[in-house]
Amino acid sequence: MKRRALVVDDEAPARQELVELLAETGRIEVVASCANAFEALRALQREKPELLFLDIQMPVLDGFALLQLIDESLLPQVIFVTAYDSYALKAFEENACDYLLKPVTAERLNQALDRLDHRTGHPLALQTALCPLRQLPCSSTNRIRLVDVRQVEYVVCEPGGIYVVTASDRAFCDLSLKIIEQRTALLRCHRQYLINLDQVDEIQLQGQGLARIRTRSGQLVPVSRRYLRQLRSHISQL
């Protein structure tokens, strides 16, 4: 059975060449080919591949940064593909399956796949999956930006996706609410909301164990009964 793989490289010729080499092996089905980390995040969530062929040097977010944004449950096996051998040590510290130097040859690619067949265990080291995030990748029409977590007032999960809200605007984020909660200091206050305690102006108690938060910019965020006690405990420790 073929392994399902995702190819990520910001250089289109290199990306296409690797896709063709993988097809020639007869061992890999490339389910998506991505030009940057943001496309890769969406493809990982959509396709859930078993294997990730990942370039390291890419604009905005490099390959190592991308790994920090992937939900642990979606982490595939990783083979780094790069033109620079100086990254080899760090790649293996990340518990990568292999490290391919460009230009990739068919022989070397098959060697990497052979090694993969004999590999067992968790695809990536746990410390990589739990690395704290200082910025959240957000996208809007024709642009991608990194939002400083300290500027975030709250994060909300809506039918259309995850939105990061600051005092001045809101932006769509490709990360899951779970990943943001695990890898930032934002605290769960509701099934659909995370709050930045440093941006809380007051908690308004509403009775029956319910409440809402007013942020420093005046925005209102609901607090469910389930999380109110935990929230008050954290605030009392500030």
Predicted pLDDT at 123? 52
pLDDT at 61: 87
User: Distance (Å, rounded) from C-alpha 73 to C-alpha 75?
Assistant: 6
Q: List per-residue pLDDT tens for the chain, 238 residues long.
A: 899 999 999 999 999 999 999 999 999 999 999 999 989 999 999 999 999 999 999 988 888 888 888 887 888 999 999 887 776 666 665 667 888 999 999 999 999 999 888 765 555 543 444 567 888 988 766 677 889 999 999 999 999 899 999 999 999 998 889 889 988 999 999 999 999 999 999 999 988 888 999 999 999 999 999 899 888 887 766 6
CB atoms within 10 A of CB 212: 15
The secondary structure of residue 2, as a DSSP letter, is P
pLDDT at 60: 83
Look at residue 131 in the predicted model and tell me its pLDDT.
61
The single-letter DSSP state of residue 87 is G
In the numeric block, the tokens 């009392």 are attached to 236
Residues 120-133: b if buried by 16+ CB within 10 A, e if exposed: eeebbeeebbeeeb
Phi, psi of 50 (to 5 degrees): -85, -20
What integer pLDDT is reported at residue 34 of this predicted model?
97
Q: Is the pTM of this model over 0.85?
A: no
Please check whether residue 216 is in contact with residue 232, taking contact to mean a CB–CB distance below 8 angstroms: no
Q: Do residues 166 and 129 lie in contact, with contact meaning Cβ atoms separated by under 8 Å? A: no
Question: Distance between CA 83 and CA 129 in Å, rounded?
Answer: 25
DSSP 94-117: TT-SEEEESSPPHHHHHHHHHHHH
